[in-house]
Amino acid sequence: MSGQSQRLNVVPTVTMLGVMKARLVGATRGHALLKKKSDALTVQFRQILKKIISTKESMGDVMRNSSFALTEAKYVAGDNIKHVVLESVKSASLRVRSRQDNVAGVKLPRFEHFTDHSAGDAKSDLTGLARGGQQVQSCRTAYVKAIEVLVELASLQTSFLTLDEAIKTTNRRVNALENVVKPRLENTITYIKGELDELEREDFFRLKKIQGYKKREIERREQDAKKYADNIPLKTGISMNSAHNLIFVGAEKDDDIIF
């Protein structure tokens, strides 16, 4: 960017000055609000981060337990148990749905799981009836718990990413306002003020100059008039008054002198 804080190209009038001032006020208020929003989002962000770390650790444990439960089930019910269960499933009974949460103005997606009873998981209660039924059921509970943890982790991670985006955008805006918009506006205002001052000074100067001229003009005229009045008595020797009378009164009604 050439010139770190340029100014806007505007006509430097008083109205423009008012407009610029209004904009500066708006920018300042916006800057304060966005900064508060960014702080609130950062607080949420840190909380989610802490929760993610603890959930990930517990997920490691839970997955381990559930894999082991599967091994136990395979041991007792035969290696085929995985295929038997998989083939007898029509549709999933444990499902996930998503909804939007509003956190400090940001829409975060949240996932939650629910059991779809119509998918009929009651029938699979009889899996491994002759051997291994208990292990199959305990394996199922272990995996349901694993799903719960995973779903929670998924919603935490998506909120994490969304919040991250939102924080970046907000910070970008805050920085832009602070480092670009406001200086620009301030510079523009300064420029307008400067221009206006200059115009005023010019006017003032012009005024003064003209006054000077006028004064000199009047003085000159008076000088001229005075000089003329002095000149006539010097030539004919009459008083200025009579000369005056001569010129002005005498010129009015006088008979022609005839010889």
Partner 1 sequence: MRSLIELTCYVLPEIRSFDRRIHREEEGEAMYGFEALTFNIHGGYLEAIVRGYRSGLLTAADYNNLCQCETLDDIKMHLSATEYGTYLQNGALISHSSSRCGSDSVSRICADLRDSGRHVLVSYIPDQKPDSFLCRGIAYQPMEKGAKPSPLHTTTIVEKCTLKLLDEYKHMLCQATEPLSTFLEYITYGYMIDNVVLIVTGTLHERDVQELLEKCHPLGMFDSIATLAVAQNMRELYRLVLVDTPLASYFSECITSEDLDDMNIEIMRNTLYKAYLEDFYNFCQKLGGATAEIMSDLLAFEADRRAVNITINSIGTELTRDDRWKLYSNFGLLYPYGHEELAVCEDIDQVRGAMEKYPPYQSIFAKISYGESQMLDKAFYEEEVKRLCLAFEQQFHYAVFFAYMRLKEQEIRNLMWISECVAQNQKTRIHDSVVFIF
CA contacts within 13 A on the Cβ side of 178: 11
Binding test (CB under 8 A) with partner 1, winner from 135, 155, 170, 188:
135
Site for partner 1, residues 63 to 122, rule: CB under 8 A: 64, 67-68, 71-72, 74-76, 78-80, 83-84, 87-90, 120, 122
> SS in 3 state form for 27-71?
HHHHHHHHHHHHHHHHHHHHHHHHHHHHHHHHHHHHHHHHHHHHH
The answer to the question of residue 127 lying near partner 1 (CB under 8 A) is yes
The answer to the question of residue 175 lying near partner 1 (CB under 8 A) is no
**What letter would DSSP give residue 255?**
P
From the CB of 157, what's the least distance to partner 1, in Å?
A: 25
CB-nearer residue toward partner 1: 29 or 131: 131
The answer to the question of residue 11 lying near partner 1 (CB under 8 A) is no
The answer to the question of residue 60 lying near partner 1 (CB under 8 A) is no
How far is 171 from 163, CA to CA, in rounded Å? 12
CB-nearer residue toward partner 1: 13 or 134: 134
Stretch that binds partner 1, among 96-104, 129-137, 204-212, 233-241 (CB under 8 A): 129-137
Return the structure tokens found at 93.
């009974």
How far is 40 from 126, CA to CA, in rounded Å? 52
CB-nearer residue toward partner 1: 38 or 135: 135
Ordered alpha helix ranges (H), the chain: 14-77, 81-87, 133-176, 182-236, 240-244
Binding site for partner 1 (CB under 8 A): 64, 67-68, 71-72, 74-76, 78-80, 83-84, 87-90, 120, 122-135, 138
